[in-house]
Structure 1
Amino acid sequence: MRAARAARIVVAASLGVAALVGCADSGSSSGSVIEPTAAPSSAKPTPPAPAPEASQQDKAGAAAFTEYWFALLSYGVQTGEVDKLRAASDAKCTECAEAIGVIQENYNDGGSLQGGVYTVREANTIEDFAGQVMTVAVSFDRSPRDGTSPLGQPRGRLDGKSFADCDVRVLWTSAGWKVRGVDSVEQLI
């Protein structure tokens, strides 16, 4: 009895596979073929994560954290979300506060920013003050940035920049690194 039951299962499975193979005949012109479509490109960016080195209290950690801070700045410009950027910035950092202010001014009323993405080319720690405060020399690119009102009207443009330089001071705290200040001849944001 078991052998007969097993034989029926094998036959049923074989018929099912044969039916599926028959449906998959690509030479048939009677059915329509549905091609997969690309996902919409309006997907919201994901918040950046710091590299593991960014939690180290050394020169490599300071440089890695500085790169992370620029990634948070780009994320804030793209999304209007500044909580992580604020958390990575010291309360005494005036340049950080200005950057956060520009982002909030453009998003809080329903407007937005387009572009303004930062790409760090190089980040090298050039000064180390007892492991507590370090200066990181940064070379970066910034894509052009445009602001748009809630009604779609243009409201300001910041030209892109290649090979811009700045010095970023980072401070080691009980919570890890924080940006204490940014010295730049070029407009940061």
Structure 2
Amino acid sequence: MFRTRVPSAAPAFVRLGAAGLAAVLVLGGCTSSVEPQVEAAETGSSSASPPTGTADPSETPTPTATPTPTAAYKPATANGPAENVPLPVMPELAKQESKEGLESFAAYWFSLVNYGYETGDTSHVRELSGPECEICESFYVSMEKGYVDDDWVQGGTLTILDHNSAFVLTPKGRYQVILSIQENNSYNRGPNGVLYSQNFASRYSFDQIMEATYTDGRWIVDLVDTI
């Protein structure tokens, strides 16, 4: 299960998250050269036509649209919640009914949990989770409490160290995937420097099991539990 903790007289919080991947896109440019054109002189001509490819000075250049800058992501701190948290995008592989597809989906699902953890928005996890996932319901309630009255959660992210599935159907018609996870410290905070609760994570990783079914062309999580 998601390892939750409910402090007395303070909002509950869930210690969830996921590792992120960074990609570097290198753009290459090209250069071009234009041979100088020789103006042909004609007897009795008082003017010459502009060289081919040369802009007419009388024409007004079309303005180039300036792209709108994307607001920078800022993680939560003791002074405020996370800002401009990017919504994870499902990989194409995670849409496939296969061993690799399930493993990719499991990592993606945990990244949505992490998104909910940083924003309080659990709607994306709900869309990919079934009613039998009891710990999912606990996650929804915990996030609602963690973000009430301008409160927020800092830290608590989980790094997925490894994941693997045997891709064999269980008696309930589900597939299982095992994930090895590393946790970070987490804090429940409020305005004006209020610290409701804190949890110092173990330096050791732990394992969780996910069970999911493939329905109507997508994976749905039925169970998440700690092994």
Calculate the TM-score normalised by the size of structure 1. Answer: 0.72
Q: What is the 5 A alignment of 1:38-57?
A: 42=74, 43-57=83-97
How many angstroms does 1:3 deviate by? 4.3
Q: Name the CA distance, whole Å, in 2 between partners of 1:136 and 1:150.
A: 39
SS in 2 for 1:61: helix
Unaligned runs of 5+ in 2: 1-45, 58-70, 75-82
- For residues 1-189 of structure 1, the aligned pairs below 5 Å read 1-3=46-48, 42=74, 43-129=83-169, 132-161=173-202, 162-174=204-216, 176-185=218-227
Q: CA RMSD in A?
A: 2.7
More helix by share: 1
Which AA in structure 2 matches 1:78? E
Q: Quick one: percent identity of the two aligned structures?
A: 24
More displaced stretch, 88-97 vs 118-127: 118-127
State the alpha-carbon separation in 1 of the partners of residues 180 and 109 from structure 2: 14
Deviates more, 1:40-49 or 1:92-101: 40-49
Superimposed CA distance per residue, residues 113-160 of structure 1 (whole angstroms, 9 cap, x where no aligned partner): 011212211111135217951110100112211111244411222333
Higher strand share: 1
AA aligned to 1:182 is V
In the TM superposition, residue 108 of structure 1 has moved relative to its aligned partner by 3.0
In the alignment, residue 181 of structure 2 is paired with which amino acid? F
Matched letter for residue 156 of structure 1? S
Do the aligned residues in 2 keep the contact of 1:71 with 1:118 (CA within 8 Å)?
no
Deviation per residue, 1:89-121 (Å, 9 max, x gap): 111100111112211111133210011212211
CA–CA separation in structure 2 for the residues paired with 1:182 and 1:133 = 12
Provide the C-alpha distance between the structure 2 equivalents of 1:142 and 1:116, rounded to a whole number of angstroms: 6
CA distance in 1, matches of 2:210, 2:198: 24
Judging changes above 3 Å, is the alpha-carbon distance between structure 1 residues 4 and 143 closer, same or farther for their aligned structure 2 residues?
Answer: same
- Measured in 1, the distance between the counterparts of 2:200 and 2:122 equals 22
Indicate the residue corresponding to 2:19 in structure 1.
none
Structure 1: tracts of 5 or more residues without a match = 13-38
Structure 1 segments, 4+ long, off by >4 Å, are 3-6
SS of 1:128 mapped into structure 2: coil
Asked if the contact 1:59–1:128 (Cα under 8 Å) also holds between the matched residues in 2, the reply is no
Structure 1 CA distance, aligned partners of 2:181 and 2:129?
A: 19
8 Å CA contact 1:44–1:79 kept in 2: the answer is: no
With a CA cutoff of 8 Å and minimum separation of 6, indicate the structure with the bigger relative contact order.
Answer: 2
